[in-house]
Chain A
Amino acid sequence: MTSKEEEYDFLFKVVLIGDSGVGKSNLLSRFTRNEFNLESKSTIGVEFATRSIKVDGKVVKAQIWDTAGQERYRAITSAYYRGAVGALVVYDIAKHMTYENVERWLKELKDHADTNIVIMLAGNKCDLRHLRAVSTEEAKKFAEQHSLSFIETSALDSTNVEAAFQNILTEIYNIVIQKAPADGGQGGGGSVSETKVIKIDDQKDEKSGSKMKCCQKGN
């Protein structure tokens, strides 16, 4: 599964979720291609992109699944939560409803994702200062209560986009390292040391048909 050109030490699967129109696709395109589109097309089902970054001197490749926000797609998109080690739950700071719906998205994760998934709350469109409907303090408090990390971003002017992904990937990395030291030792309850496939939660992994590893050491 690994290519010579793009070697990496870890592969982390991360999902982007949140209401339609909050800017998930633009966060992704800003992070992976440094692009922003005022009129990007709506996401149908799921879309996939990757980017590698350095964490602690190691190459971490993020495999990111951008999902459609509309309710009708839940059945399809929730299948992609399986095996994800990170989730970025996005709302729009100018639309209070998208913030209220964060609870529903957390429930989705609880129902469908692996239990130890790392979750980050991201208040996007923070460039829209004059339209702000969700205060930073309120969201921060909410995040603390639910033990999520929190950040405000703008895909439009790039504020904190790098930081958001860097933070969540680092957080995942730290957990993985703790559970399964990079020396290939047996950690995290049954990781396969041979191929350095490491999973945060092994219990649910093999159920899905997909053979994608949430996290894998490249060669």
Chain B
Amino acid sequence: MADKKSSFWKRGNDTKLPGRAQPVANSPDLRPRSKTFEEYEKDTNDAWDDEAEDLSHLSSPVKPLEFNHTGSGEFDVKFSGKKAPLKSRIKEVVKPRSHTTGGMSTSGGGTGVQHSGSDSRRNAPQDTGRIRSMSPPSDPFDDIPDRETIKLQKFGKLLAGPNTDLEQLRKLSWSGIPSSVRATTWQLLCGYLPVNIDRREETLQRKRSEYLKLIDQYYHMRDDSIHKDTFRQIHIDVPRMNPSIPLFQQSIVQECFERILFIWSMRHPASGYVQGINDLVTPFFVVYLSYYISGDKNAETYDLSLLPNSTLNMIEADSFWCLQKLLEGIQDNYTLAQPGIQTKVMRLKDIMKRIDGSLHSHLERNSVDYLQFAFRWMNNLLMREFQLRSVIRIWDSYLSEADGFATLHVFVCAALLLKFSSEIQSKKDFQEIMIFLQNLPTSAWTDDDVQLLLAESFKLKYMFADAPGHLQN
């Protein structure tokens, strides 16, 4: 806090990536106090790689960030007058992209990474995107399809090993992972799959058989008197999980979920199974299933009886281990009295107070307590507020951060409130506000909307992480 006055942009120079856990530590900044724009640009170049790069142009629903706090005129130049509608430009991105990746189906079996076919742009200068991103947006997205291809190629190169550079992979993943490489990338980012390609197959085999042993060891306990309540709870939650997605109505899938959840809770008695954890398995399950079915088939409507049992076992085991990794980072959300959730909701409140005072006081005036609506946002990681496909995209970003499910998540919640700020403020009493917040109109959200939300979250996180006192009075 002593360093309150120093600009977050300057301290941000330490930060090379979007989404990296920010060193909030008060380590003294030994750098020269002022940097030229060029220096800044050089340092943070890659923070703006790919789609996330154009954060600066976002037409934010908040009042613009107070860049003038930096005291560096360069940034006023850079950020002022650049409210070009990113959204319209992103549209161009999304269409060709889905086309591109749609064609690149991944064949089943193995863990090998599919490489896209030959690509004439292979040798496109790596820096093109960066240069473009930092220069005025004349028409930054004009060669988008190529960029998507380049992106996929970059993934291919990284995943192919021999040792995947996790930092690079995170950087690349933050702005979204092409579906054809998502399964492998998630497993690497979770720390489930080793970076060394030669060890991957062996590791998977070992973990999968280990999981089978866990089933043998624990699953029969579901009838024991001390555990049957846990199993009963899982058993009544799983069928209610995602009523609109046919995949989850299949009993064969429900049984997988019951095993995953029961075994996880047996191994984590400090929290045990808590309603909502079941939701957290679904993204893993769908992404890993997608890996094994041909690209034109939608996992959400897939008939699992078409899948060999052995494959289903692999998906189940992989989902289990990745769920475990995920929950390691947020276990205090689910322990007694759920302190992790309390803390995160307080954090959200604090952020909102600083970035949208008028919304904050509107909520206070109407006696709306953040816990009343944000509890579920934290407990279920917003999975009840978004379509599954949107959640999966959000998780690309969460997984690309060291602590994304705990830290970035709170900023996504904040960005969500900002997004609906004026609508919330148009609701005139407690009841209207609560009903609105319980049923946010996100069902028609497109990839662009999600992308914008994440970009806004990133902006907020960056701002707060590097200058905790930045907006404090």
Contact = CB atoms under 8 A, between A and B. Distances in A.
B435 A76 contact: no
A210 B243 contact: no
Contact of A39 (B240, B384, B432): B240
Contacts of B432: 3
Contacts of B337: 75
A95 to B, nearest CB: 9
A124 B320 CA distance: 35
A185 B55 CA distance: 60
A209 B375 CA distance: 17
A45 B375 contact: yes
Given A40-B240, A42-B275, A44-B384, A210 B369 contact: yes
Given A1-B430, A72-B272, A209-B369, A44 B438 contact: no
Interface string A59-76: 000010000101011011
Interface stretch (A47-55, A105-113, A132-140): A47-55
A121 to B, nearest CB: 21
Interface in B367-394: 367, 369, 371-372, 375-376, 379-380, 384
Contacts of A73: 274-275
A20 B233 contact: yes
B164 interface: no
B336 A75 contact: yes
A42 B276 CA distance: 8
A41 B241 contact: yes
Nearest to A68: B275
A73 B429 CA distance: 27
A75 B239 CA distance: 26
Given A211-B367, A212-B367, A46 B431 contact: no
Contacts of B384: 41, 44
A2 interface: yes
B240 A46 contact: no
Contacts of B240: 39-42
Given A41-B241, A75-B337, A70 B274 contact: yes
A2 B434 contact: no
B371 A48 contact: no
B334 A46 contact: no
A209 B431 CA distance: 17
Contacts of A209: 369
Contacts of A46: 372, 375
Contacts of A21: 236
Contact of B338 (A2, A41, A48, A75): A75
A147 interface: no
A37 to B, nearest CB: 7
Interface string A194-215: 0000000000000001111000
Interface in A92-136: none
B237 A42 contact: yes
The CB with the most chain B CB atoms within 10 A, among A37, A41, A75, is that of A41
A195 to B, nearest CB: 15
Contact of A76 (B236, B271, B338, B431): B338
B336 to A, nearest CB: 7
Nearest to B430: A1
B334 A45 contact: no
A65 to B, nearest CB: 9
A42 B275 CA distance: 7
B367 A72 contact: no
A70 B233 CA distance: 8
Contact of A49 (B336, B367, B435): B435
B431 A44 contact: no
Contacts of B272: 72
A131 B379 CA distance: 34
Interface string B325-356: 00000000010111000000000000000000
Nearest to A211: B367
A147 B197 CA distance: 69
A48 B243 contact: no
Contacts of B220: none
A76 B275 contact: no
B313 interface: no
Contacts of B435: 48-50
B366 interface: yes
Given A48-B438, A75-B338, A1 B375 contact: no
A40 B242 CA distance: 9
Nearest to A39: B243
Given A1-B430, A20-B275, A73-B275, A39 B239 contact: yes
B99 interface: no
A90 B375 CA distance: 23
Nearest to A37: B243
B429 A41 contact: no
Contacts of A49: 435
A2 B241 contact: no
Interface in B424-457: 428-432, 434-435, 438
A3 B375 contact: no
Contacts of A212: 367, 430
Contacts of B241: 41
Interface string B216-247: 00000000000000000100110111010000
Contacts of B371: 45, 76
Given A1-B366, A3-B428, A45 B236 contact: no
Contacts of B431: 48, 50, 63
Contacts of A2: 429
Interface of B: 233, 236-237, 239-241, 243, 249, 271-272, 274-276, 334, 336-338, 366-367, 369, 371-372, 375-376, 379-380, 384, 428-432, 434-435, 438
20 contacts: A1-B366, A1-B430, A3-B432, A20-B236, A21-B236, A39-B239, A39-B240, A41-B240, A44-B375, A44-B379, A44-B384, A46-B375, A48-B431, A50-B431, A70-B233, A70-B275, A72-B334, A72-B336, A73-B274, A209-B369
